[in-house]
């Protein structure tokens, strides 16, 4: 059988395909490399020709912000932003250039600066933050100032003079409790709650006008207590009505407590609660979380330490706080008050059960006995008394009339 020989064809097409693929890849690499190189040149040129960003020259030292509550909660980068904002605001800079790429966070840190610094009364609390992109990202903060540099100096002098007069009344060697109580009573007794007061969001309203709202009350307490060496910071949140409110967190004899000078002021209380013009409520003169949260709720985005003690609450210190109801003790307190022609008789109970037991016994039995003693001691034909009954705060206050 014969064989047929066939010649094998050479595969020229495959070799050319490989050649063109390799050529294309080399060309692509050269092109992409040129683009990347060109972008690098443009980037470096932009850095060279771009105007220098006038960041705030920070002169603030670490000791200037030591123990500042909100500063300590920031990370290192945010602490730099905090100091830049603080430096600019101290200088009343219309524009503060900041190392930040987050305008919203910059505004939040600005709020923290003002919470830590009650003495910066010239900042009205509002600001515009704008983020800029480019060779370098940064933010410009434009705070709103309530006065000029010249007015600031004048107002500062007024504040210093009044604060000096106030602090002359308390020894620097006094206990934490005595200092806190002194400042609490100073503000309650010298300042009137007035929603229409000028500058009511800062301490100038307290020290110069003697009229303010919760922001002024709380910042003034912070300002004075810091001057006395007592840790005190500014806390914001809402109250039972849903309205925004401000109060303080303090350290008293080593433990955290809440203080609310505004709610101690009789002018702030309703006419039913303010039985007498000189009535002062001490429920929030050093109280714990449980007591505070009956009526106050701190902002959810604020991390606060636990306040677990009532040892230095005013009513506890002065024997007006009852963890167990004692009928004989309550009657004795009312009679002792009457015997020295004093006012009021105050009974603060640790919980609702004790309060309810006391309420039924006092108004169903004891107050009539005390009234008889009042009539007998002062030869009164008719006995009069007024009272405040507060189931929310578990408290009963009785005022006796001696004429």
Question: Six-digit token pair at 382?
Answer: 């008719």
* pLDDT recorded at residue 11: 43
13-51: per-residue pLDDT in tens?
A: 545 554 554 555 566 556 555 555 555 554 554 555 556
Backbone φ and ψ of 50, nearest 5°: -65, 145
Exposed (0-12), middle (13-18) or buried (19+): which is 317, by Cβ within 10 Å?
A: middle
- 178 versus 403: the higher-pLDDT residue is 178
Contacts 24+ apart (CB under 8 A), 362-368: 362/330, 362/396, 363/389, 365/327, 366/327, 366/330, 366/331, 366/334, 367/334, 367/398
Query: Chain-wide mean pLDDT for the chain?
Result: 88
CA nearest neighbour of 193 among 175, 177, 215, 165: 215
- Averaged over 70-98, what is the pLDDT? 96
Count, residues in the chain: 403
Q: What is the pLDDT of residues 335-357, one digit of tens each?
A: 999 999 999 999 999 999 999 99
Is the pLDDT assigned to residue 211 strictly greater than 80? yes
pLDDT at position 254 over 50: yes
241 pLDDT tier (thresholds 50, 70, 90): confident
What does each C-alpha distance from 61 to 22, 65, 122 come to in angstroms? Answer: 62, 7, 22
pLDDT, position 32? 52
- Return the pLDDT at 52: 85
Q: How confident is the model at residue 286 (pLDDT cuts 50, 70, 90)?
A: very high
Whether residue 376 is predicted with pLDDT greater than 60 in this model: the reply is yes
Give the pLDDT band (50/70/90) at residue 383: very high
Residue 7 reports pLDDT greater than 50: no
**Four-point Cα dihedral 73, 76, 78, 81, nearest 10:** 130
- The answer on pLDDT for 179 being more than 90 is yes
Q: What is the pLDDT of residues 61-72, one digit of tens each?
A: 998 998 899 999
**Percent of the chain scoring above 70 in pLDDT:** 84
Query: How far, in Å, CA of 18 to CA of 279, rounded?
Result: 98
Lowest mean pLDDT across 38-52, 236-250, 280-294: 38-52
387 pLDDT higher than 50: yes
Give mean pLDDT, residues 376-385.
Answer: 93
| pLDDT-derived band at 3, boundaries 50, 70, 90 | very low
* Res. 6 pLDDT band, cuts 50 70 90: very low
pLDDT in tens, 297-322: 999 989 999 999 999 999 999 999 99
Q: Is 378 helix (H, G, I), strand (E, B) or coil?
A: helix
Average pLDDT over residues 369-397: 93
Q: What average pLDDT does the segment 282-291 reach?
A: 97
Helix (H) or strand (E) holding 392: none
**Per-state percent for the chain, helix, strand, coil, to nearest 5:** 45, 20, 35
- Mean pLDDT on 239-256: 96
Q: What is the mean pLDDT of residues 249-261?
A: 98
Provide CB contacts within 8 A for 364, sequence distance 6+.
Answer: none
Q: In this predicted structure, which of 166-180, 195-209, 258-272 has the lowest mean pLDDT?
A: 258-272
> Has residue 1 got a pLDDT over 80?
no
pTM over 0.75, yes/no: yes
């Amino acid at each position: 059988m014969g064989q047929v020989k066939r010649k094998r064809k050479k595969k020229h097409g495959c070799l050319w395909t490989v050649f063109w693929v390799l050529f294309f890849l080399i060309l692509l690499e050269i092109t992409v490399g040129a683009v990347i190189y060109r972008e690098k040149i443009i980037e470096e040129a932009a850095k060279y020709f771009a105007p220098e960003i006038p960041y705030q020259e920070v002169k603030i030292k670490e000791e200037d912000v030591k123990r500042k509550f909100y500063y300590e909660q920031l990370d290192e980068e945010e602490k730099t932003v905090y100091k830049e904002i603080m430096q600019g605001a101290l200088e009343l800079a219309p524009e503060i250039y900041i190392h930040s790429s987050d305008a919203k966070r910059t505004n939040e840190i600005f709020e923290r600066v003002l919470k830590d610094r009650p003495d910066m009364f010239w900042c009205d609390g509002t600001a515009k933050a704008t983020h800029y992109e480019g060779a370098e990202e940064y933010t410009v903060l434009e705070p709103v100032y309530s006065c000029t540099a010249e007015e600031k100096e004048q107002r500062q002098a007024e504040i210093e003079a009044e604060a000096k007069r106030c602090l002359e009344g308390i020894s620097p060697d006094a206990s934490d409790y005595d200092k806190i109580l002194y400042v609490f009573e100073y503000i309650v007794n010298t300042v009137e709650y007035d929603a229409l007061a000028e500058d009511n969001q800062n301490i100038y309203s307290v020290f110069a006008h003697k009229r303010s709202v919760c922001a002024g009350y709380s910042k003034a307490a912070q300002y004075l207590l810091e001057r006395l060496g007592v840790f005190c910071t500014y806390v914001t949140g809402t109250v039972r009505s849903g309205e925004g409110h401000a109060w303080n967190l303090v350290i008293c004899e080593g433990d955290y407590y809440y203080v609310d000078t505004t709610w101690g002021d009789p002018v702030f209380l309703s006419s039913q609660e303010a039985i007498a013009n000189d009535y002062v409520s001490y429920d929030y003169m050093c109280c714990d979380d449980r007591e505070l949260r009956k009526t106050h709720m701190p902002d959810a985005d604020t991390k606060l330490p636990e306040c677990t003690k009532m040892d230095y609450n005013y009513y506890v210190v002065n024997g007006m706080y009852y963890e167990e109801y004692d009928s004989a003790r309550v009657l004795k307190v009312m009679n002792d008050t009457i015997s020295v022609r004093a006012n009021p008789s105050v009974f603060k109970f640790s919980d609702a059960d004790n309060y309810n037991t006391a309420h039924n016994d006092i108004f169903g039995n004891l107050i009539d006995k005390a009234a008889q003693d009042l009539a007998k001691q002062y030869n009164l034909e008719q006995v009069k008394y007024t009272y405040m009954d507060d189931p929310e705060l578990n408290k009963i206050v009785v005022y006796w009339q001696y004429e």
